Amino acid sequence: MYVLIAIAFLAAASSSALYYLKNMHMFQLNSYKAVNQFRWLTKNLIRLVPSAAFLVSFLISIFVPAAAGFTLVLLCSLLTAFFNIPGKTKKPLKYTMRVIRMIVTSSILYLLAAVLSVIIEPASFYAVISIMSALVPLIIIASNYINTPIELGLRLWYASDAKKMLRSSPGLMVIGITGSYGKTSLKYYLGALLRIRFNTLITPESYNTPMGVVKTVRSGLKATDEVFVCEMGAKYRGDIRELCELVNPRIGVLTSIGEQHLESFGSTDAIIDTKFELFDYLPYDGTFFANGDNALITERLANIEPRCRVVLYGTGENCNYRAMDVSVSSSGTEFTVAGPDGEMCRFSTKLLGSHAIINLTGAIAVANDMGIPLNELVPYVRRIAPVKHRLQLIENGNTTIIDDAYNSNPAGCRSALETLSLFKGVKILVTPGMVELGKLQGKCNMEFGVQAAAVCDYVILVGERQTGAILDGLRSAGYPDRKVFLVQNVNEALIKSNSIPTGGEKKIVLLENDLPDNY
């Protein structure tokens, strides 16, 4: 009997641990926000199967002998363990100090519940453990709330330390870059160009949150650094202002405004207001660089009082730095940049896509405005490599993969399809569609399907939930169903694309977006 109890207890503990880590992983991907976690749970009710199993086993055990009850616990635990066996993830759980603190707090809650159950009524021990196991999603959220004062205190301390370091470098030029899309690419392009003349620090990868910026400053800022290029991300009003108060930029760059993170912002107006928090923060002697091809940006600029110097870049005649005579091929792009003083210079780059050229023109504009002549930038522009997962070309025998898997959006999808159309061969689109677009998500994905129908020879849709609207768009454009395939993940999609016959022609595969594990 005691052996059975011990086995059942260990099985329940192991299952609860797996279930806990799975939910913690999703909570991390959901930015540690309870509202996002509840939304994810609502959309993934199957994830509550372990909770239901634990509760059902508890209820049944009340009316059956102890041995049968523990046997039920064992079976339930094995089912839960099987359900939560760790699989391959795109972005695994990172055991940050915040996650470790939450695990400790959760463990204390479990221990207190177990001890109290033994003290008050030993017979209730199994019931309490079953209920606690069932409430794993809520316990994680509760642990986060309990730790809020600690996390806030640590954030304030680290942020204060980062501010001191920035203040200790009074000659440091801070450049803030934000936008619905394009900010990471422009950041890397600008960093490569500024290093011609300046010791330059940039936020790595997609570090664009307050703690990501703080970590960059505290671990990377040197006394010899002259420029700090800071990427600024946002999902809610006030996010950009918080980052500005942290790093105090004198130069701002706004790459774009579009339907990105509408699920959290709620409206396009909220996105515009948030992105312009960078403009509102700049000092009167600062400079604001903005994408002059973006109608939402130019409309807002036309209706507000300029508080600092504004420089537009893009392809339109309204731009101070204008990309002209663009010549695009599958091997790269050539274009001319006309500066505000009438100077013109021809550039060539390995980058593809209209968005890449606009972002590159923005980087050229900032670098030139900071004193680097256009002609001096030419060889460095030629050397700039595509940013990983952003229209990155990968050659694999007779197959060319255009990897545009990072965080797709409507404008990015259009640009990627334009790029795909430049190539000769059998064109295959692999996509799970776009997310985080709120009420516009279905409409945008349907339009994406219509656009894809005009370019692609085959379309491989990844996942049924997100791609129904794309299929509707394809069908509305008269695209044949026999050229559309539905698979469950990217690996299956690549296997499927490899099996498509091309008659000896080159195969061009566009990977457009790759959803994180919480979708």
At 300, is the pLDDT very low, low, confident or very high (cuts 50, 70, 90)? Answer: very high
Confidence bin at 47 (pLDDT 50/70/90): low
* Residue 335 near residue 327, CB atoms below 8 Å: yes
Q: How confident is the model at residue 77 (pLDDT cuts 50, 70, 90)?
A: low
Q: What are 396's two structure tokens?
A: 């694999």
What is the C-alpha separation between 337 and 322, in angstroms, rounded? Answer: 5
Measured distance CA(492)–CA(485) in Å, rounded: 10
Express each pLDDT in 269-283 by its tens digit: 899 999 999 999 999
- Place 392 in a pLDDT band, splitting at 50, 70 and 90: confident
Which helix (H) or strand (E) is 399 found in, with range?
strand 399-404
What percent of the chain stands above pLDDT 70? 85
The more confidently predicted of residues 40 and 255 is 255
pLDDT at 141: 93
Question: Per-residue pLDDT tens for 102-128?
Answer: 999 998 988 888 788 778 776 666 667
pLDDT category, 216, cuts 50, 70, 90?
Answer: very high
Q: Which long-range contacts (CB under 8 A, 24 or more apart) does 101-108 make?
A: 101/147, 101/150, 101/151, 102/24, 102/140, 102/143, 102/144, 102/147, 103/24, 103/143, 105/143, 105/146, 105/147, 106/20, 106/139, 106/140, 106/143
Neighbour tally for 156: CB within 10 Å: 10
Q: Residue 286's beta-bridge partner residues?
A: none
Tell me the CATH class for 392-512.
alpha beta
> What's the rounded Cα separation, in Å, for the pair 428 and 484?
10
Burial degree of 175 (CB within 10 A; 0-12, 13-18, 19+): buried
Domain residue spans in the chain?
Answer: 2-146, 170-383, 392-512
Give percent of the chain with pLDDT exceeding 90. Answer: 51
Instruction: Give pLDDT, residue 388.
Output: 80
Say if residues 463 and 44 touch (Cβ distance below 8 Å).
Answer: no
Mean pLDDT (the chain) is 86
The pLDDT value given to residue 131: 74
Q: Give the side-chain half-sphere CA count within 13 A for 494.
A: 12
- What φ, ψ does residue 392 adopt, rounded to 5°? -85, 125
pLDDT digits (tens, 9 = 90+) for 348-387: 998 887 788 999 999 999 999 999 999 999 999 999 988 8
CA distances from 124 to 13, 58, 74, 114, 187 (A): 17, 10, 17, 9, 58
Is the pLDDT at 518 greater than 70? The verdict is: no
pLDDT for residue 441? 85
**Residue 2 in this model has a pLDDT that exceeds 60:** no
Tokens of 325: 């005579």
Rounded Cα distance, 22 and 446, in Å: 32
Q: 206 burial class (0-12, 13-18, 19+ CB within 10 angstroms)?
A: middle
Position with higher pLDDT, 405 vs 192: 192
Give 1: exposed, middle or buried? Use CB within 10 Å, 0-12, 13-18, 19+: exposed
Asked whether this chain's domains 170-383 and 392-512 adopt the same fold, the reply is no
- Superfamily covering domain 170-383: Mur-like, catalytic domain (3.40.1190.10)
Is residue 442 left, alpha or beta, with left meaning phi > 0 and alpha meaning psi from -120 to 50? alpha
Q: Which residue is listed with tokens 């009420």?
A: 439
- When pLDDT is cut at 50, 70 and 90, the band that residue 395 belongs to is confident
pLDDT value at position 88? 67
184 touches 173 (CB < 8 A)? no
pLDDT tens, residue by residue, 235-246: 889 999 999 999
Residue (of 214, 224, 291, 210) closest to 252 by Cα position: 291
Average pLDDT over residues 487-494: 88
The per-residue pLDDT for 515 is 66
pLDDT-based confidence at 206, cuts 50/70/90? Answer: confident
Q: Angle, to 10 degrees, between the axis of helix 374-383 and the axis of helix 354-369? A: 140
Alpha helix stretches (DSSP H) within 44-135: 49-62, 66-83, 97-120, 125-134
Query: Which stretch of 293-297, 305-309, 328-332, 358-362 has the lowest confidence by average pLDDT?
Result: 328-332
On the question of pLDDT at 302 being above 80, the answer is: yes
Q: How confident is the model at residue 72 (pLDDT cuts 50, 70, 90)?
A: low
Whole-number pLDDT of residue 51: 65
Q: Are the C-beta atoms of 271 and 236 separated by less than 8 Å?
A: no
**What is the pLDDT at residue 367?**
98
pLDDT bracket for residue 183 (50, 70, 90): very high
Q: What is the Cα–Cα distance from 153 to 136, expressed in whole angstroms? A: 26
H or E segment and range at residue 91? none
pLDDT of residue 124: 64
Three-state DSSP at 329 gives: strand
Rg over alpha carbons for the chain, rounded to the nearest Å, is 27
State the pairing for strand pair 309-314/321-329: parallel
CA 249 to CA 247: how far, in whole Å? 6
Q: Could you tell me the two tokens for 174?
A: 């801070």
Cβ of 409: how many Cβ atoms within 10 Å?
23
